[in-house]
């Protein structure tokens, strides 16, 4: 029997999963769907002209061969923004409440009411996947599997842009919606490599918890 490590180590990327990813996805989706949460106030509904993330996402999208999948699309603000820029883009969102908001705000964009786990049973491949803070609620057991699913859904040579909360160690923290995780950059990089990605850009700032990585889907790893 595989023993689960007591603390995050290199073994977290090879140990068998003992949590139910579907149950975890539903718990987080329900938290985002709570009527007590001002979800549009927290996540935002539109991309403002001075949004600093535009300097990262727009140049990345310009290098990607469409179509693009926005995983964990939330209110659809980045999906809709990229569509307005002329990209062929679709959204993926498991929350009932958020998918309703996204579809109402961006009726011309296709939004799939599904999760990363559902992608494991999908045959479609995309040229790029945007995962902008959409996997922050995944534990050390869940994230490696999710990254492997995303790799399988990218064409060889396709691009992933993933943002996350960085920290000196892998640990949970209180998020306004549901428990989230901080990851050391080297641990995220290791998980991506083991999932079949080649790292392109790793960006972090010691004065900020916000970090991102761009990675290429390595041929022969799907």
Residue 120 lies inside a defined structural domain of this protein: yes
Residue 153 lies inside a defined structural domain of this protein: yes
Query: CA separation (Å) from 135 to 84, 161, 188?
Result: 25, 12, 11
Residue 32 lies inside a defined structural domain of this protein: no
CATH code for the domain in which residue 93 is found = 3.40.50.150
Calculate ∠ Cα 104-107-50, nearest 5°. 80
Q: Which residue has the tokens 């989230």?
A: 180
Residue 3 lies inside a defined structural domain of this protein: no
Counting Cα atoms < 13 Å in the Cβ hemisphere of 55 gives 4
Residues 6+ apart with CB under 8 A from 213: 160, 161, 162, 164, 185, 188, 189, 192, 199, 200, 201, 202, 203
Residue 77 lies inside a defined structural domain of this protein: yes
For the chain, give percent helix, strand, coil, nearest 5: 35, 25, 40
Residue 188 lies inside a defined structural domain of this protein: yes
Q: Which residue has the tokens 């939004």?
A: 111
Residue 95 lies inside a defined structural domain of this protein: yes
Query: How far apart (Å, rounded) are the C-alpha atoms in residues 214 and 222?
Result: 17
DSSP tag of 116: H
Residue 87 lies inside a defined structural domain of this protein: yes
Residue by residue, pLDDT tens for the chain (222 residues) are 333 233 333 333 333 444 555 556 667 666 665 677 666 666 667 899 999 999 999 999 999 988 999 999 999 999 999 999 999 999 999 998 899 999 999 999 999 999 998 998 899 999 999 999 988 888 898 899 999 999 999 999 999 999 999 999 998 887 766 678 999 999 999 999 999 999 999 999 988 899 999 999 988 655
Largest CA distance in the chain: 53
Collapse the DSSP code of 150 into the 3-class scheme (helix H, G, I; strand E, B; otherwise coil) and give the result: helix
**In terms of residue numbers, what domain contains 178?**
53-198+210-217
Domain count, the chain: 1
| Strand ranges in 121-207 using DSSP code E only, listed in sequence order | 126-132, 154-166, 171-173, 180-183, 197-205
Residue 130: CB atoms within 10 A of its CB come to 27
């Amino acid at each position: 029997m595989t023993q689960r490590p007591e603390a995050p180590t290199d073994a977290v990327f090879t140990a068998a999963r003992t949590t139910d990813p579907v149950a975890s996805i539903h718990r987080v989706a329900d938290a985002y769907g709570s009527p007590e949460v001002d979800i549009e106030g927290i996540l935002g509904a539109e991309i403002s002209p001075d949004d600093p993330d535009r300097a990262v996402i727009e140049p990345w999208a310009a290098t990607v061969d469409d179509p693009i999948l926005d995983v964990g699309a939330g209110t659809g603000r980045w999906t809709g923004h990229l569509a307005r820029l002329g990209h062929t883009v679709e959204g993926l969102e498991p929350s009932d409440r958020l998918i309703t908001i996204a579809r109402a705000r961006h009726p011309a964009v296709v939004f799939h009411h599904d999760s990363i786990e559902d992608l494991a049973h999908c045959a479609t491949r995309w040229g790029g996947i945007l995962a902008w803070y959409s996997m922050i609620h995944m534990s050390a057991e869940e994230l490696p599997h999710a990254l492997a699913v995303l790799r399988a859904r990218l064409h060889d040579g396709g691009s992933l842009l993933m943002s996350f909360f960085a920290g000196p160690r892998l640990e949970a923290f209180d998020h306004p919606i549901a428990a989230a995780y901080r990851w050391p950059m080297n641990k995220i990089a290791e998980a991506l490599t083991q999932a079949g990605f080649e790292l392109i850009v790793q960006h972090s700032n010691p004065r900020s918890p916000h970090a991102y990585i761009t990675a290429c889907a390595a041929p022969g790893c799907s």
